[in-house]
Amino acid sequence: MPTPSVFASIRQLPIGQGGFLVGEVTDRHSEAFTYAFDCGSINREHFEQGLSLCSYEKIDVLFVSHLDLDHISGIEALAAQVQINTVILPCLDALHLTLIALEAMNAGGLRLSVRSFLQDPAGWFADRGVKQILHIPRGDSAVEAEPFNPDDSSGDDIVAGSEEEGSLGPYTIRSKGSGQPKTVRAGAAQERVLGEETSITVDIGQAVGSPCWLLVPYVHPFPEADLSEFRTLAGKLLPANFSDRAIASKSFTTKLIKLLADESDRKTLKRCYKVLSGNHNKISMSLYAGPHSASEEEMEIRRSDWSFPWTAIAARHQLLVSRNRYRKVRGGAWLCTGDADLNVLETRSQWLRRYRYLIPRVEVFVLPHHGSNNSIHDEVIDHLKDVVMLACAATGRSKHPHPLLLGRLGAAGSGVWQVSEDPESTFAMHVEFNG
C-alpha cells in the first residue's frame, strides 16, 4: 500500500501591526495537526478580521514568541473560539517578567489584567482552557548553541502530554533536560520547563517512528553586557539570582509588583529599562517549521508570491520582487522570528548556530520586529538569499518595514511581501510531499 501524501499549509493572516500565523499538517485521512505562532495585534478590528479566517476547531500547539501586546492580545479571543491544547513560550524568568512589567508601565501603567497575569501566568492560561504550558529558557550566552540536526534526536527526553488523556495529539515533543511537570488549577493543566534545545515532530501519514513535519523553537541569549548594566543601575532592588534562566518564583513576582507600586523604586526601574528598550532588546522565540526530510524531487510547493508572473507587474503587497526569476525550491520550510534581535553579534551568532542545518531549507522568512532596520544584520540576510521575506506591519507605518532595510534587502536580491490588515495581503505556502 503506497504511503499517503502529506499536505501542509502555513498562512500569515492579515491582522495589521502584530502577528498571527496558523499552520496545518494532514494526510486527509488522519487527525490533522494544527499550530499557531503569536496571536495579537494593536488594532482589535484588524485582529478579529484575521481570526475570522482561522477555521480550526482546535490548536494543538500555540507558540508565543514573547509577551508584547501586539503578539498576544488575541489569545483570549482565540481561546474562546477554539481549544488550545498546549502553549509554548519563552521561560518566564525574573528578567523576562521584569521586562514585561516595565513594558506595561512604559505603555501607561500596570493594569489589573497585566498584574493578574504576572502573579500567575500558568493559571491565566489554564483558565482559558490550555492543558499544557511549556517554557523554553533563553539560550545560555556562556555556552555555544547546539546546531539542530533533524536526523539525530539521541539524548532527548520525550515530553509526555496530559497524564489523564495520554497524547494530546499526533505529535511528539522532545527536549534535553526538561523539568518535572507541575499541576495547575487543581490538575486542570500542567506546567513544565523544557530545555533550551527542544523540537516537535508530527507523525501523520507515516510509519510509527517516522515523523513527517518538524518544528524547532529557539530563544536566543540576552546580551550579557546590557543585562549587567541593567543590574548595576538597579542596584540592590533586584535579588542576587536575577540573572537565572529558571522560571521566576512567586515571591519574586510579589516583590516586583511591590517595587513598581513605590514611586521611587518605579522611577529607578524605568530608568534602567531605558538601557534595554533603547537597544530594542527582546526576549523572543523563533520557530522553524518544515518537512522533516527535504526532497525537491518529491515535493510540490505553492506560495502566494508565485501566483504572479516574474516578468509582469508584481502584486501590490510585494514591496520587492526577488532578483531570482526561477522558482528555486529550498525545502518547504518557514522561519518565524517574533521580535528576535538578529543584529547584535552575541545573539545572532547563537541563533545562526542553532539553525545552521535548517536555514538552507527555508522558503519563507518572517522579518523580526515587523521589518525594523535595527533587528537584523547583513550576515543573516546573506544566509537567506532566494527566500521571500515577510514584513507583518500595518499600512502606513513609516518604519515597519523600514526603508533602509528594504534598501539592504533589495541590494541582496531578496523579495519582500507585506502582510498588513488587507485580507488580500495574506501570505500562504502549501507543501505536498510523500510521507
Residue 111 has pLDDT above 50, yes or no: yes
Residue 160 has pLDDT above 80, yes or no: no
CB atoms within 10 A of CB 373: 17
Instruction: State residue 157's pLDDT score.
Output: 77
Phi/psi at 428 (5° precision): -130, 150
Instruction: State residue 162's pLDDT score.
Output: 34
Kindly state the cell numbers that stand for 292.
522533516
Q: pLDDT class for 228, splitting at 50, 70, 90?
A: confident
Using an 8 Å Cβ cutoff, are 288 and 339 in contact? no
Q: CB pairs under 8 A, 24+ apart, for 256-264?
A: 256/94, 256/97, 256/98, 256/101, 256/118, 257/101, 257/110, 257/115, 257/118, 257/119, 260/101, 260/105, 260/110
pLDDT in tens, 200-218: 999 886 555 568 899 999 9
pLDDT in tens, 301-335: 999 988 765 545 567 899 998 876 566 778 899 99
Query: Residue type at 272?
Result: C
Q: Please state, in angstroms and rounded to a whole number, the distance separating the CA atoms of residues 374 and 260.
A: 30
Q: Which of 100, 84, 80, 82 is nearest to 92 (CA)?
A: 100
Kindly state the cell numbers that stand for 21.
500565523
Instruction: State residue 191's pLDDT score.
Output: 94
Instruction: State residue 15's pLDDT score.
Output: 95
Q: pLDDT class for 83, splitting at 50, 70, 90?
A: very high
User: What's the farthest any 2 CA atoms get from each other in the chain?
Assistant: 72
Residue 147 has pLDDT above 50, yes or no: yes
Q: Please state, in angstroms and rounded to a whole number, the distance separating the CA atoms of residues 161 and 297.
A: 35
Q: How far is CA 386 from the centre of its chain?
A: 22
Q: pLDDT class for 234, splitting at 50, 70, 90?
A: confident
Q: pLDDT class for 161, splitting at 50, 70, 90?
A: very low
DSSP string over 167-206: -SSSEEEEESS----EEETTTTEEEEE--SSEEEEE-SSS
Residue 165 has pLDDT above 50, yes or no: no
Instruction: State residue 330's pLDDT score.
Output: 84
Where is mean pLDDT largest: 53-62, 65-74, 163-172? 53-62
Q: CB pairs under 8 A, 24+ apart, for 207-213?
A: 207/3, 210/435, 211/172, 211/292, 212/6, 212/25, 212/291, 212/292, 212/433, 212/435, 213/6, 213/8, 213/25, 213/33, 213/289, 213/290, 213/291, 213/292
Where is mean pLDDT largest: 177-181, 325-329, 389-393? 389-393
Beta bridge partners of 21: 12, 37
Instruction: State residue 224's pLDDT score.
Output: 85
Q: Which of 433, 435, 426 is nearest to 10 (CA)?
A: 426
pLDDT in tens, 327-358: 677 889 999 999 999 999 999 999 999 999 99
Beta strands 318-320 and 415-419 are antiparallel
Consecutive H or E run containing 349: helix 345-354
pLDDT in tens, 260-311: 889 999 889 888 888 777 666 678 999 999 998 755 557 899 999 887 655 4
pTM exceeds cut of 0.85: yes
Consecutive H or E run containing 47: helix 44-51
Instruction: State residue 296's pLDDT score.
Output: 52
Beta bridge partners of 381: none
Say if residue 179 is exposed, middle or buried (CB neighbours under 10 Å; 0-12, 13-18, 19+).
Answer: middle
Q: Which of 193-207, 240-254, 352-366, 405-419 has the lowest mean pLDDT?
A: 193-207
Where is mean pLDDT largest: 105-119, 147-161, 263-277, 389-403? 389-403
Instruction: State residue 164's pLDDT score.
Output: 37
pLDDT in tens, 21-54: 999 999 888 889 999 999 999 999 999 999 999 9
